[in-house]
Chains A and B, each alone.
Chain A
């Protein structure tokens, strides 16, 4: 293992230039725990989220972290159009998150249902079910876009 470490060293991309734009409640500055909800996604966005928290893009260095329970979270990271079956669970997840909280819609589907618009199992975009604070465009969004959006809230 030590050999592998020496070979790769640090793989994280350097910081993007420029201070992030302020966006989000002041309590969440420098610390943002997120609960991820897949409301009906094709899993493209999930891969990008995993990548954003992986070693290369390392969102953790800006104070963001994925957690296991909405009770521990400050925000909900929602992907995909909201399907019939996930509408109530999404609502309940957001309701279970203590205030102040943010809801971040990740990807085009979450913003406006994308290619799934009008599908028989689709209730609507995330914004139709819960109040969205920030949304990240892209199908799927690039990990840098996700990291930038999170930096906007943690202001790091």
Chain B
């Protein structure tokens, strides 16, 4: 079976999974669809691996499926990389969904829409023409929108989240469509191959317009500031497997879009494009990590952390483009490698975190950190997996997050002082942004683990939590294993990344990274020995443990009450909460976060010296949402109210409108004629 057949069969299998979701009886519905979906993932995955191994794109064309334009499939190595990325999240998310089913995925709608969503995710990177791409893209947007609503569609928050998501994603899609149309109109064909040929010779203004439109359009899907507003709203409402897919895979497809347009189709551009990408990335990374550090809901925290990670990937992408524009091809491809590695790692890590958060939500009934606590004792495996994934996203060695950050740092380090003013100024600031983001990510995830999983349980739900079914643990475990393996032996992922990069940036011929156990940058001075590092850490940990045991005279521990300064009745309420944990960060970055604080002191009626109650209200809502979107919403609403005046209910008036319109059209025709 050749790769093209695999792609088509996979697509059919995925759609079949959707039909199975409708057709099968309630009991076997989710499982049946899941099995078919795994088949689809496997087939697409094999095709992608084949493309990456040979380095040749698979091209298919059929004029029968879609009317007028036909379907065009082009699986390039770049696309294949993203197909693998999607499959990596999709398989565990589906597995997790089986256990999670009674929390919103068991209904007939959900069981039908979920497989179609996954299939559209798998197929978007295989699209070879504008029409195919947009159909798949819209399918992905619509199905994900339905899935956001499927869990708690009756709740006001869910409906609000869905409408934010719908507006931003459709606005983005419109911009993407315009970008495609401009590009297609100027290159005389709607297939990507034709565009790739012509796009390089277009007028700079047209190229710039296309790039900016695509950047905003795909950026809104990727959750880049200021289009990130839907993420922290939609993720807490969506069922966890859906969150994992949206945050791990769908957001990565936004980055795919930017790479596709900017690098593969337009073939790079002037410095200002990439400075814009870099700035967008830096702002997103900082804003996202800052909000992640001050969020108190674990899913909201993870959503902001997605904005943060996409920001880092765009930082790398912007640096890469900048280096390409200033003629440093080796650095440019290193930056692009960093982009893809960051996205792949993010997919695995964020998938694991969202799935684990879903398990926690299922076990405790809450995703509010201030209602969790003590879960590592009650859900030891889920807790440990969440801990490792949190360490990975923080970028701690020897896990995969570290590899991406190291590559990004190395590309920036070697790109400093290349003699170009833009790079010379941008690179140190990018390093600073990377560093602060990394630091704030530590705050966010120490908080998530420390408040959510350690200490005493803060609510009855957390106290009575029990470990989730084995399939759910297995799903998280698979992704965490990927994090560990890619962190210890990055040579397993880097060749694929490099192959994908080489097709996207045709200027690079030779190998970029020397493999073996170490990661060595060819042409630059930089070596990383992750395997040895991991080995040394393991040996050291065991050694120190043995040493501690052998030096101790009384090695068995006596269990005691926690030291509370002699106080009796140590309760969970005496612990630090997520809010208090984030308070120092919130105070330092007061000007950016702009928390809404409200102190209300009630006095006793008899005397104002005696205080009856003090209430303190502290909320960190999104300053961009408040400052940028609320005014727009207000204006739109006012326009809507004004438009209501046109609807008095009188039939005569409506007929009058019709006549008026007809007269205007005819008058216009007369004038043109």
Q: How does the 8 Å CB contact mask read for B524-568 relative to A, with 1 for contact and 0 for none?
A: 000000000000000000000000000000000010110101111
| Residue tally, chain A, CB below 8 Å to B | 12
On whether the beta carbons of B566 and A90 are closer than 8 Å, the reply is yes
Q: What is the predominant secondary structure among interface residues of chain B facing chain A? A: loop
Contacts of A89 in B (CB 8 A): 565-568
Partner of A70, one of B558, B563, B567: B563
On whether the beta carbons of B568 and A95 are closer than 8 Å, the reply is no
A6–B568 Cα distance when bound, in Å, is: 50
A95–B558 Cα distance when bound, in Å, is: 11
On whether the beta carbons of B566 and A88 are closer than 8 Å, the reply is yes
A96–B558 Cα distance when bound, in Å, is: 10
On whether the beta carbons of B560 and A96 are closer than 8 Å, the reply is yes
On whether the beta carbons of A88 and B560 are closer than 8 Å, the reply is no
| Interface check A61, CB cutoff 8 A | no
Taking the closest CB of chain B, its distance from the CB of A25, in whole angstroms, is 12
On whether the beta carbons of B566 and A69 are closer than 8 Å, the reply is no
Contacts of B565 in A (CB 8 A): 89
Taking the closest CB of chain A, its distance from the CB of B566, in whole angstroms, is 3
A128–B432 Cα distance when bound, in Å, is: 61
| Interface check A142, CB cutoff 8 A | no
Taking the closest CB of chain A, its distance from the CB of B569, in whole angstroms, is 10
Contacts of B560 in A (CB 8 A): 95-96
Instruction: Find residues 88-111 in chain A having any chain B CB closer than 8 Å to their own CB.
Output: 88-90, 92-93, 95-96, 98
Taking the closest CB of chain B, its distance from the CB of A66, in whole angstroms, is 16
Taking the closest CB of chain A, its distance from the CB of B355, in whole angstroms, is 38
| Interface check A71, CB cutoff 8 A | yes
On whether the beta carbons of A96 and B567 are closer than 8 Å, the reply is no
Residue of A nearest to B564 (CB): A92
On whether the beta carbons of A69 and B568 are closer than 8 Å, the reply is no
Residue of B nearest to A72 (CB): B563
A142–B568 Cα distance when bound, in Å, is: 34
Contacts of B567 in A (CB 8 A): 89, 92
Residue of A nearest to B562 (CB): A96
A37–B567 Cα distance when bound, in Å, is: 13
Taking the closest CB of chain B, its distance from the CB of A38, in whole angstroms, is 11
A72–B385 Cα distance when bound, in Å, is: 32
On whether the beta carbons of A96 and B563 are closer than 8 Å, the reply is yes
Binding site for A on B (CB under 8 A): 558, 560-561, 563, 565-568
23 sampled A-B residue pairs with Cβ under 8 A: A37-B566, A69-B563, A70-B563, A71-B563, A88-B566, A88-B568, A89-B565, A89-B566, A89-B567, A89-B568, A90-B566, A92-B561, A92-B566, A92-B567, A92-B568, A93-B566, A95-B560, A95-B561, A96-B560, A96-B561, A96-B563, A96-B566, A98-B558
